Amino acid sequence: MSMTRRSFVKNMVIGTAGLSIAGSLDPRSADAVEKKYAHYHHKFVYKKGTEGPGAADYYFRMNSTDLNDTNTNFSFGYYSKLGVWNTEQPAGCTHPYDECLVFAGLDPEGPNYLGAEIEIALGKDYEKHIINVPSIVCIPKGLPHGPIVTKKVEKPFAHYAIGLAKDYQAAKLPGKPTGGSTKNEYGHLIKLMSSTAMPEANRIGSGNAEWLSWPKSKDLEGFIVNFTWGFYKGLGDWHGKIPGFDPHIHEGNEYLCYVGLDPKRPDYLGAEIDFYMGKNRDEKYSIDSPMVTVAPSGVWHAPCITKKVDQTYIFFLIRRDTGEFYSPKEK
């Protein structure tokens, strides 16, 4: 059965965060070897950023080899330092694919607070833009962008980059940035996360998000992707008020990510969640550390049930379709 976003919101009061859920299992676990879907679960392995004075405190990057040979690459990191992010690319870079750069805050009580001021240059004339609230920058294939410079920091913030191709590729631009255009040719590529906010996402399930941003393809320059950013602290079934919704499948490959709020402890999630995979809820996985579950197109997954929360945590999904349908159209 297919369902548009409008009809879903109408039926369920509010369209929400967990319409595609996540879960994961440490692949080192003894029982992981015997499970059909265990190979879709991957623990995040953080390292310290060294590319420049403003580089991430901790970050990871995942390519297709880390994500079951699927069609997306992404990175995630915590940032708190001033300066240029990458001195190895002083004039910026280009990618042979579309990319979304997400700048997000870590304060669940102030979801529209970034806690920093970041400068990003767009285009060959280095058109400069300032980001000081949670925002998304859509980078079309081939558009020069960078450098990125953190100008002010009040509190640590998060950044994740979504590349719409199997593997990260970047062509370093030669020389150094010259001047900075005062034009606003590319300002439309910067989107406010608050414009797609769903502040009462938990209405459809007690375990769902307290606050959620969910941009779809139509919000992202038509890029074939949709993704979320949400703060979670409730116990229970994420979709408990939607009879028959779980388990479900999607048109595009989906990446279901859990990360913690403490930038000094990137390996700490602060919650325990049960997640199911298979058309008949065949396998249950336990989530208690930052991880990603890959749910390829057509693979049944969910429900997701939060069992314990010691600290508010973050869940974000990335899905490679427009986001207008939560399950494939019937043929």
Same domain, 29 and 77: no
Range with the lowest mean pLDDT among 33-37, 133-137, 204-208, 231-235?
A: 33-37
Do 145 and 103 belong together in one domain? yes
Whether the predicted pLDDT of 5 surpasses 70: no
pLDDT confidence band for 297 (50 / 70 / 90): very high
CATH of the domain at 185: 2.60.120.10
Instruction: List Cα–Cα distances, 181 to 91, 121, 150, 178, in angstroms.
Output: 14, 9, 19, 9
Dihedral over alpha carbons 213, 215, 216, 222 (to 10 degrees)? 180
pLDDT, tens digit (0-9, with 9 covering 90-100), for 75-100? 999 999 999 999 999 999 999 999 99
Q: How confident is the model at residue 327 (pLDDT cuts 50, 70, 90)?
A: confident
Q: Tell me which of 192, 226, 261 is where a domain ends.
A: 192
Q: Is the dihedral of CA 308, 310, 312, 313 positive or negative?
A: negative
CA–CA distance from 4 to each of 172, 217, 219, 323, 324 (Å)? 41, 14, 16, 9, 6
The parent domain of residue 312 ranges over 5-42+197-319
* Domain identity same for 296 and 169: no
Kindly state the average pLDDT of the residues 122-126. 94
Residue 34 has what pLDDT?
Answer: 75
Q: Which residue has the higher pLDDT, 80 or 12?
A: 80
Residue 293 has pLDDT above 90, yes or no: yes
Per-residue pLDDT for 25 more than 60? no
Q: What CATH number is given to the structural domain containing 29?
A: 2.60.120
Residue 33, pLDDT score: 52
Q: Mind listing the pLDDT tens digit for each residue in 152-207?
A: 999 999 999 999 999 999 999 998 887 777 889 999 999 999 999 998 888 999 99
Q: How many structural domains does the chain have?
A: 2
Q: What pLDDT shows up at residue 295? A: 98
User: Quick check: 28 pLDDT over 60?
Assistant: no
pLDDT at 329: 61
In this structure, are 300 and 218 located in the same domain? yes
> What is the average pLDDT score of the chain?
90
